[in-house]
């Protein structure tokens, strides 16, 4: 709390009690940055690899191997060795380390400058202490017993020759004496100390099951903060940088109250957020202003109101002509880097813009952040009748960059480990940073709702069953999205028809959260039998003296077969034709349908065209031309007239269904014969008039007396 200048009153008192005072200024400074540790930040750990080979030393290099099991890079800090020798003269001890990838580093250590045995040591053993950090060589000492060399090779700087390499595998150490001819003994043991980073447990952030987001307070990502004074915890680029750009304030023209000005804003290399705008208006007092934007230029859009977006509303107090009147926006207007925007400023009904007529030299303004291209104005906003060029008088006040945040939000796209750089700033502005690790977790199972489904078998009597048939997409949900679906029944056949099958549907999201539901599967066969060998289109003659053609049974004629995806041939017992076999058909064109129905009620069919055409001989034609029948229509009596010399035998009358209803004997008639048809019902009849060698057919209409008269064409 005392950081900064402090006035201190100093009082000096002499032996007689006389005093004097003065004031000193003591400036307290805090220039020590906070010491911080982030959650999940790797922690340095020191480990040791060692071995006791007990191998011969001196005459030949001693090679030992060891596996150092670490998963990250490490730095060698020191190496301890213990060697027993049998000679009093000790040369350099050379240690070589080789990594699994073949990289080597060599350490040479001379325990002392030995040119001859020390005084008083003749015939005694020597203990030599290895210390490559000693300022001066360590003198050897006489000692009873076996000569030894032991100590540590401690590099002046940590050995980082293997930094960045894979450290898993077998490391090889070679230890040798530079003067093997003089020294021999036993290499007892070695110990290698090294440091490496061990990742700490991350901060677990659980996503909300509905929104798929989670917000974490940055202070919660710190393990510890060592700071004597106050501090704040943030992330991001620090405080935004303020900026502004001004056109001019020197109006020589003005628009009506409620009018608009238009201009273009081109953003530089970084996004900007416009916070407030100065304008020029001759009116005073409180005012409001609407800020509209459009991506692209304002040019050509002064009359296109639908193309503009209302981005903010500004309020302020107008100060009068050629004095900046500041309007504070209710929300920042964010303009993206490298983009040109059209901007329109619309004043309220009691204030008008004062602007300057453009002359080509006063229409463009720029700085490192943004540039302005001005512009136009209109008395009525977006009415398509702008005045141009008109230069907006004013200033855009903006910020570059985003404010430092005190919390961070994660979503489904960030599942797993995420690094967050955290800055701790004390009250004096000293900062420290560390990197926290946040593990974003989705542990919410999907909401899976099933619905029953029906599957149709294909022509092979099979069908694939897919999960999407049963998933009610309108009511199923997962905040991070369902990525995998499955169903426990994958295919069905004809054997499944008629049985309600219960299926289980499974769904998983990207984090492996599972959900399941059940539904009923119904298998149906909607395919009718396939008919092969259907007759071709054909033309037939009823034959001599035949008025009708009697349809044969085409199934009985043979050559027609059928197959079905699910029903065997013996299971198909309902098959036939339409019209039915035995139907009498007069001359004409007919569609004949052959059909077969499987055991599930599915009907398959084929069709062909049957043309019935009576072939008339010469006598038939002559008789047809000579015979007349009248009156037609008739209500009771009908007369047949014959102008030929062909002797007629009879007239046979058939109804529309081909049934014989009346026969008239015409033998012995002269040129005419009248007969009664009053017993016949009203309708159309076919009259077949026959001679011994020819025939003709006439149509007869029988009507009741009360029916209107119709004439046969």
pLDDT tens, position by position, 558-607: 889 888 999 887 788 888 999 999 888 888 899 999 999 998 999 999 99
Q: How far apart are CA 209 and CA 218, in angstroms?
A: 22
Antiparallel, parallel or unpaired: β 637-642 and 672-676:
antiparallel
- Average pLDDT value over all residues in the chain: 84
Residue 115, pLDDT above cutoff 60: no
Residue 42, pLDDT above cutoff 60: yes
pLDDT tens for 127-150 read 444 333 333 333 444 454 444 444
pLDDT at 111: 45
pLDDT at 163: 44
Q: How far apart are CA 71 and CA 47, in angstroms?
A: 13
Please give the average per-residue pLDDT across 283-302, as a whole number. Answer: 97
Q: How far apart are CA 505 and CA 518, in angstroms?
A: 6
* Short-list 651, 645, 659, CA closest to 696: 651
- Label residues 262-279 b or e (16+ Cβ within 10 Å = b): bbbbebbeebbbbbbbbb
pLDDT at 119: 46
- Is the pLDDT higher at 568 or at 516? 516
Calculate the CA 582 to chain-centre distance. Answer: 67
Query: Which phi and psi angles does 408 have, rounded to 5°?
Result: -135, 140
Residue 499, pLDDT above cutoff 80: yes
Q: How far apart are CA 274 and CA 631, in angstroms?
A: 103
Task: Report yes or no: 348 and 285 within 8 Å, Cβ to Cβ.
Answer: no
pLDDT at 156: 36
Please give the average per-residue pLDDT across 601-615, as a whole number. Answer: 91
- Is the pLDDT higher at 306 or at 82? 306
pLDDT at 712: 44
Task: Report yes or no: 187 and 81 within 8 Å, Cβ to Cβ.
Answer: yes
pLDDT at 164: 41
Confidence of residue 200 (pLDDT cuts 50, 70, 90): confident
Q: How far apart are CA 179 and CA 60, in angstroms?
A: 10
Among 250-264, 312-326, 657-671, the least confident range: 657-671
Question: Which residues lie across from 482 on neighbouring strands?
Answer: 509
pLDDT at 459: 94
Please give the average per-residue pLDDT across 255-262, as a whole number. Answer: 97
Please give the average per-residue pLDDT across 10-17, as a whole number. Answer: 95
Task: Report yes or no: 335 and 272 within 8 Å, Cβ to Cβ.
Answer: yes
pLDDT at 403: 65
The residue count of the chain comes to 713
Please give the average per-residue pLDDT across 118-127, as a whole number. Answer: 44
Give the chain's domains with CATH numbers.
1-42+202-239+403-443 (2.60.40), 43-198 (2.60.120.260), 241-400 (2.60.120.820), 453-524 (2.60.40), 530-612 (2.60.40), 618-702 (2.60.40.3080)
Task: Report yes or no: 444 and 515 within 8 Å, Cβ to Cβ.
Answer: no
Q: Is 639 exposed, middle or buried (0-12, 13-18, 19+ CB in 10 A)?
A: middle
pLDDT tens for 149-177 read 444 444 333 344 344 444 556 667 777 66
Among 191-195, 547-551, 701-705, the least confident range: 191-195
Sign of the C-alpha dihedral, residues 113, 118, 124, 127?
Answer: negative
pLDDT at 381: 97
> What is the layout of strands, in order, in the sheet containing 588-597?
538-540, 603-612, 588-597, 574-578
Max mean pLDDT range (73-87, 391-405, 698-712) = 391-405
Q: How far apart are CA 197 and CA 509, in angstroms?
A: 33
Please give the average per-residue pLDDT across 522-546, as a whole number. Answer: 88
H-only helix segments in 104-195: none
Confidence of residue 53 (pLDDT cuts 50, 70, 90): confident
* Short-list 418, 40, 22, 364, CA closest to 202: 40
Confidence of residue 704 (pLDDT cuts 50, 70, 90): confident
Task: Report yes or no: 536 and 592 within 8 Å, Cβ to Cβ.
Answer: no
């Amino acid at each position: 709390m005392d950081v900064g200048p402090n006035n201190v009153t100093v009082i000096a008192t002499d032996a007689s009690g006389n005093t004097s005072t003065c004031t000193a200024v003591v400036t307290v400074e805090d220039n020590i940055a906070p010491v911080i540790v982030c959650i999940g930040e790797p922690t340095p750990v020191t480990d040791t690899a060692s071995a006791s080979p007990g191998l011969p030393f001196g005459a030949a290099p001693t090679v030992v191997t060891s596996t150092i099991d670490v998963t990250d890079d490490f730095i060698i800090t020191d190496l301890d060795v213990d060697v027993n020798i049998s000679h009093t003269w000790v040369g350099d001890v050379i240690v070589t380390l080789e990594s699994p990838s073949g990289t080597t580093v060599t350490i040479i250590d001379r325990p002392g400058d030995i040119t001859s045995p020390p005084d008083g040591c003749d015939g005694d053993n020597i203990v030599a202490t290895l210390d490559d950090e000693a300022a001066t060589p360590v003198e050897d000492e006489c000692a009873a017993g076996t000569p030894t060399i032991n100590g540590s090779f401690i590099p002046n700087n940590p050995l980082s020759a293997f930094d960045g390499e894979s450290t898993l595998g077998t490391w090889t150490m070679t230890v040798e004496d530079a003067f093997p001819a003089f020294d021999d003994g036993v290499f007892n043991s070695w110990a290698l100390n090294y440091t490496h980073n061990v990742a700490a447990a991350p901060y677990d952030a659980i996503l909300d099951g509905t929104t798929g987001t989670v917000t974490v307070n940055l202070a919660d990502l710190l393990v510890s903060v060592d700071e004597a004074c106050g501090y704040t915890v943030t992330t991001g680029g620090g405080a935004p940088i303020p900026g502004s750009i001004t056109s001019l304030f020197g109006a020589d023209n003005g628009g009506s109250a409620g009018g608009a000005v238009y201009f273009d804003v081109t953003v530089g290399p970084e996004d900007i957020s416009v916070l407030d705008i100065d304008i020029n208006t001759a009116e005073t007092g409180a005012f409001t202003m609407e800020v509209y934007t459009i991506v692209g230029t304002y040019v050509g859009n002064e009359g296109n109101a639908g193309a503009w977006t209302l981005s903010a509303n500004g309020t302020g107090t107008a100060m009068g002509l050629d004095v900046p009147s500041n309007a504070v926006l209710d929300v920042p207007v964010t303009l993206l880097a490298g983009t040109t925007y059209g901007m329109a400023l619309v004043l309220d009904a009691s204030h008008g813009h004062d602007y300057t007529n453009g002359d080509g030299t006063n229409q463009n303004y720029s700085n490192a952040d943004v540039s302005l291209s001005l512009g136009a104005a209109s008395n009525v906003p977006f009415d398509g009748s702008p005045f141009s060029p008109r230069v907006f008088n004013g200033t855009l006040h903006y910020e570059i960059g985003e404010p430092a945040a005190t919390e961070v939000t994660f979503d489904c796209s960030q599942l797993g480990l995420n690094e967050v750089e955290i800055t701790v700033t004390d009250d004096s502005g000293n900062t420290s940073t560390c990197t926290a690790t946040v593990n974003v977790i989705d542990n919410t199972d999907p909401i899976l709702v099933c619905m029953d489904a029906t599957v149709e078998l294909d022509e092979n009597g099979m069908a694939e069953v897919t999960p999407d048939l049963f998933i009610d997409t309108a009511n199923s949900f997962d905040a991070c999205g369902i990525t995998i679906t499955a169903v426990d029944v994958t295919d069905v056949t004809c054997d499944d028809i008629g049985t309600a099958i219960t299926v289980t549907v499974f769904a998983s999201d990207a984090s492996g959260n599972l959900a399941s539901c059940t539904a009923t599967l119904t298998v149906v066969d909607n395919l009718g039998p396939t008919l092969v060998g259907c007759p071709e289109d054909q033309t037939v003659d009823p034959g001599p003296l035949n008025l009708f053609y009697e349809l044969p049974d085409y199934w009985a004629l043979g050559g027609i077969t059928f197959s079905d995806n699910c029903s065997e041939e013996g299971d198909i017992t309902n098959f036939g034709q339409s019209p039915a076999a035995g139907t009498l058909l007069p001359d004409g064109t007919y569609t004949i349908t052959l059909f077969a129905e499987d055991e599930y009620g599915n009907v398959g069919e084929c069709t062909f065209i049957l043309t019935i055409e009576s072939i008339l001989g010469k006598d038939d034609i002559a008789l047809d031309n000579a015979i007349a029948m009248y009156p037609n229509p008739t209500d009771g009596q009908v007369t047949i007239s014959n102008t030929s010399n062909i002797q007629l035998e009879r007239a046979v009358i058939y109804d529309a269904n081909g049934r014989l209803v009346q026969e008239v004997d015409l033998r012995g008639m002269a040129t005419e014969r009248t007969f009664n048809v009053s017993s016949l019902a009203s309708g159309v009849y076919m009259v077949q008039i026959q001679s011994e060698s020819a025939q003709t057919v006439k149509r007869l209409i029988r009507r009741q007396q009360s029916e209107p008269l119709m004439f046969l064409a």
